[in-house]
């Protein structure tokens, strides 16, 4: 659960090149008209039902943000509101970006945009590079990794397992003669 700090922590940066992108989400107190809203929307951004009186929506995708810059910005809130369909924005009373709260986190993705999963050494395993698709890829990769750890069949196609192999970059570079 170290996300963007994984390569440094495990000293595998040259073998698993991760690219980092900041994602700012916006938080808005529910409105009387949005309190009963009970479904998530996906529209190029996303908007969630109210949890603990807050709606979450967003998100930005910033490749040039410094890792220690975790403060939400008004321009990020503007971006997240601009992603929102006009009808939803009007339904919510056209929220003021200055009044919004938020959070910034960093997504880690690989250069080929496929996640990475596998065994680093006995007892050490990794799932990373999910980018903005953690809710989509995460459960399936967890299943694949669990079957590997337990030595059970996963019924996954070989090309799927090769596509998410955390060592694929090292194997490709070795095949091209770039490394020994």
Answer yes or no: is pLDDT of 116 > 70.
Answer: yes
Answer yes or no: is pLDDT of 13 > 60.
Answer: no
Under the banding of pLDDT at 50, 70 and 90, the label for residue 80 is: very high
Which runs of consecutive H residues, i.e. helices, occur in 17-73? none
Whole-angstrom distance, CA of residue 179 vs CA of residue 175: 8
Whole-angstrom distance, CA of residue 155 vs CA of residue 150: 14
Under the banding of pLDDT at 50, 70 and 90, the label for residue 16 is: confident
Answer yes or no: is pLDDT of 15 > 80.
Answer: no
Answer yes or no: is pLDDT of 2 > 70.
Answer: no
Answer yes or no: is pLDDT of 36 > 90.
Answer: no
Rounded average pLDDT over 74-100 = 97
Question: What's residue 168's pLDDT?
Answer: 93
Answer yes or no: is pLDDT of 8 > 80.
Answer: no
Return residue ranges of the chain for CATH 3.30.9.10.
Answer: 21-109
- CB-CB contact of 153 with 147 (8 Å): yes
Task: Give me the CATH topology for the region 21-109.
Answer: D-Amino Acid Oxidase; Chain A, domain 2 (3.30.9)
Q: In sequence order, which residues have a C-beta less than 8 Å from that of residue 37 and are 6 or more positions away?
A: 30, 49, 50, 55
Answer yes or no: is pLDDT of 120 > 90.
Answer: no
User: What is the Cα Rg of the chain in Å?
Assistant: 20
Answer yes or no: is pLDDT of 173 > 70.
Answer: yes
Tens-place pLDDT, residues 38-63: 999 999 999 999 999 999 999 999 99
Answer yes or no: is pLDDT of 1 > 60.
Answer: no
Question: What's residue 12's pLDDT?
Answer: 65
First to last CA, the chain: 31
* 3-class secondary-structure state, position 151: coil
pTM for the whole thing? 0.80
Q: Give the number of other Cβ atoms within 10 Å of residue 167's Cβ.
A: 16
- Kindly state the tokens that stand for 11: 């000293």
Tell me what the pLDDT averaged over the chain comes to: 91
């Amino acid at each position: 659960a170290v996300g963007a700090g994984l390569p440094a922590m495990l000293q595998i940066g040259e073998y698993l090149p991760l690219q980092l992108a900041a994602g700012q989400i916006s938080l808005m107190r529910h409105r009387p008209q949005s309190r009963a809203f009970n479904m998530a929307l996906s529209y190029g951004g996303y908007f969630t039902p109210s949890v603990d009186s807050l709606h979450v929506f967003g998100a930005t995708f910033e490749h040039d943000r410094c890792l220690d810059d975790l403060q939400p910005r008004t321009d990020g809130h503007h971006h997240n509101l601009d992603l929102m369909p006009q009808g939803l924005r009007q339904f919510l009373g056209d929220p003021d970006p200055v009044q919004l709260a938020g959070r910034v986190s960093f997504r880690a993705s690989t250069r080929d945009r496929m996640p990475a999963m596998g065994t680093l050494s006995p007892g050490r395993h990794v799932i990373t590079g999910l980018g903005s698709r953690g809710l989509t890829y995460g459960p399936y990769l967890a299943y694949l990794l669990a079957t590997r750890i337990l030595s059970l069949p996963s019924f996954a196609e070989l090309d799927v397992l090769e596509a998410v192999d955390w060592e694929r970059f090292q194997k490709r570079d070795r095949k091209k003669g770039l490394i020994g």
